[in-house]
Amino acid sequence: MPEVPRILITGAAGFLGSHLCDRFFKEGYHVIGMDNLITGDLANIAHLFKESRFEFYHHDVSKFVFVPGPLDFILHFASPASPADYLRMPIQTLKVSSLGTHNLLGLAKVKKARILVASTSEVYGDPLEHPQKESYWGHVNAVGPRGVYDEAKRFMESLTMAYHNFHGLETRIARIFNTYGPRMRLDDGRALPAFIGQALRGEPLTVFGDGSQTRSFCYVDDLIEGIFRLLHSDYVGPVNLGNPEEISILEFAREIRELTGGSSEIVFKPLPTDDPKQRRPDISLARQILGWEPRISRQDGLRKTYEFYKRIMDSASEASHR
Ligand code: UDP
């Protein structure tokens, strides 16, 4: 390995990708970001462009990927990731985790790089086992609206294991549960940015269904630490990364309303098709092999996230009054 390790991060302008760029840059890596910007935002990585240890390629990884020079690591984090986005872009969602993963595994092979792919709790679908362990095979509707994401990620895992078993590639698979924090797109349709945006604008908070469905929300810094440790571990199978603290969506909406000090009412909208009823990671494996567990409470994480959104909304409204 050269003195300065070189890492390619796909989805670099997205929520998780941009935080990963920051983390690996801080650790002294030469970071090569790649993104086609269909859901990412260059503002998330604008501060890195002046750095000589950072490069950026505007490229769609479902097309052949070329990167000059050596590579030690690849993190494949490109994909629309919110249900609203992948319902809008079903074919691109399928392609980035299938064709895109294939291209990146091929690149890892020629560069002799270690590759970590971003899989998801969605591989468990609407789970019949609770909490979800890595050994659970899942309950996914291949032809439902979420199938485009779920099945592409399942194929991603399968292809990644095949490259490991057949070509001896060094591979890692993170199964990422709901993660939140600064830089999620305010209009990405997910529960947390939706509720914070609505509360800040004084609009009603839209809870889907009766809000009894549960999720377990992990603060982004904890997740990034888990990814960092997993990449440097020697464990090849899928590893759950998430926060096991579970909450109903209705309760979550109330927490956010309280945090923002707003008095928005809560309104109920139809539950999207195949919306999982419950989700909570069993993280015993990550605890055992990575010595990892989340450290940031939902209270602290939500406060930091709220402050971030408040800042950007305040500066947008200042700009519009100028
Ligand atoms: N949700 C909601 N109101 C919204 C957006 C989402 O009640 O405005 C619900 C959604 O139906 C799901 C949960 O919040 O049950 C989490 O949704 P999200 O889109 O954040 O991610 P998911 O975990 O479903 O992939």
Pick the CATH number of 6-186+218-244+280-296 from 3.10.129.10, 3.40.50.720, 3.50.50.60, 1.10.8.350: 3.40.50.720
Which residue's CA lies nearest to atom 19 of ligand 1? 190
Helix, strand, coil: what percent of the chain each, to 5?
Answer: 45, 20, 40
DSSP-assigned states of every residue in 87-132: HHSHHHHHHHHHHHHHHHHHHHHHHT-EEEEEEEGGGGBS-SSSSB
| Ligand 1 atom nearest to 211, measured from its CA | 7
pTM over 0.95: yes
Contact 139, 124 (CB under 8 A): yes
Say yes or no to pLDDT of 251 above 80.
yes
| DSSP string computed for 26-52 | HTT-EEEEEE--SS--GGGTGGGTT-T
Which protein residue's CA is at the shortest distance from atom 11 of ligand 1? 208
Q: What is the pLDDT of residue 1?
A: 52
Q: What average pLDDT score do residues 294-299 get?
A: 98
Q: What is the per-residue pLDDT for 263?
A: 87
Arithmetic mean of pLDDT, 97-124: 98
Split at pLDDT 50, 70, 90, the class of 316 is confident
Residue 22 scores a pLDDT above 70: yes
Question: Would the pLDDT of 229 be above 60?
Answer: yes
Average pLDDT of span 255-277: 94
**19: pLDDT strictly greater than 60:** yes
3-class DSSP assignment, residue 231: helix
**Phi and psi at residue 30, to the nearest 5°:** -90, 115
Task: Over range 222-226, report the average pLDDT.
Answer: 98
Average pLDDT, the chain: 96
C-alpha–C-alpha distance, residues 29 and 3, integer Å: 9
Measure 220 CA to ligand 1 centroid, in angstroms.
Answer: 17
What pLDDT is stored for residue 108 in this prediction? 98
What is the band of 235 on the pLDDT scale with cuts at 50, 70, 90? very high
Which DSSP category does 3 fall into? S
For ligand 1, say whether the CB of 208 is within 6 Å of any of its atoms.
yes
* Least confident interval from 64-68, 136-140, 196-200: 196-200
CA of 116 to the centre of ligand 1 (A): 26
- Would you say 185 and 15 are in contact if contact means Cβ atoms under 8 Å apart? yes
Delimit the domains of the chain by residue range. 6-186+218-244+280-296
Encode pLDDT of 112-157 as tens digits.
999 999 999 999 999 999 999 999 999 999 999 999 999 999 999 9
pLDDT for the residue 2:
56
The one-character DSSP state at 242 is S
Which residue's entry shows tokens 């920051």?
22
- Measured from the Cα of 205, ligand 1's closest atom is 8
User: Percentage of the chain surpassing pLDDT 70?
Assistant: 99
Tell me, using a 6 A CB cutoff, whether residue 272 lines ligand 1.
Answer: yes
User: Which pLDDT score, from 0 to 100, does residue 256 have?
Assistant: 95
